[in-house]
Amino acid sequence: MIKFITNIFKTLNSNSHPKEIAHAICCGMLLGFMPKTNALWYVLFFIFCFLRINKACYLLFTILFSMITPFLDPIFDKIGFAILSYEPLIPTYIKMLEIPYLPLTRFNNTIVMGSLASGIVLYIPVYIIARLIVRLWRGVIRQAFVNSKLVKAFYKIPLISKFISVSKELSK
């Protein structure tokens, strides 16, 4: 766990392009919003693993967004219901249900459809915000954070200094 958290901070400070980190955050958001009980989630997870994104940020933000999703499920349910009850698309949904294995994606579930649609709509705004935050972190916030009295006092705690030394040894 310590190595994982260390990798996140290394990523923010590394030479990797901010777009890789921003895409990882957005892919994590998309998967974090969706219920994990359908084939669509696993297909997207598998596809995202092969994209050129930062895998540590991807997994971290998938977990983080999964933790806030239960609070957003009523909103996803309403959005999904609106999409699935849209009259012109109902014949298309009926034909999609007849395609083998496609019902395993549970696209006809209001929460699955609403969370997928919300994730797709929020992808671009979250991407832009994430890129700005990474640039701000690298340009301004990192130095202020490292030089703050609180962080310096935190590093002086014996247990924390031991964790830092262990994580440095693990990263070698």
Question: What pLDDT, in 10s, does the model give residues 39-69?
Answer: 999 999 999 989 888 888 899 899 999 999 9
> CA-CA distance, 63 to 134, in Å (whole number)?
19
- Tally of CA atoms within 13 A in the half-sphere of 64 that contains its CB: 12
- Enumerate residue ranges in the chain where pLDDT < 70: 1-16, 142, 145-146, 151, 154, 160-161, 164, 167-172
* Model pLDDT, residue 57: 85
Using the structure block, give the residue that is written with the tokens 């997994």: 59
* Model pLDDT, residue 15: 53
Q: For residue 112, what are the contacts with CB-CB under 8 A and spacing of at least 6? A: 34, 35, 38, 40, 80, 105, 106
User: Are the CB atoms for 17 and 130 separated by under 8 Å?
Assistant: no
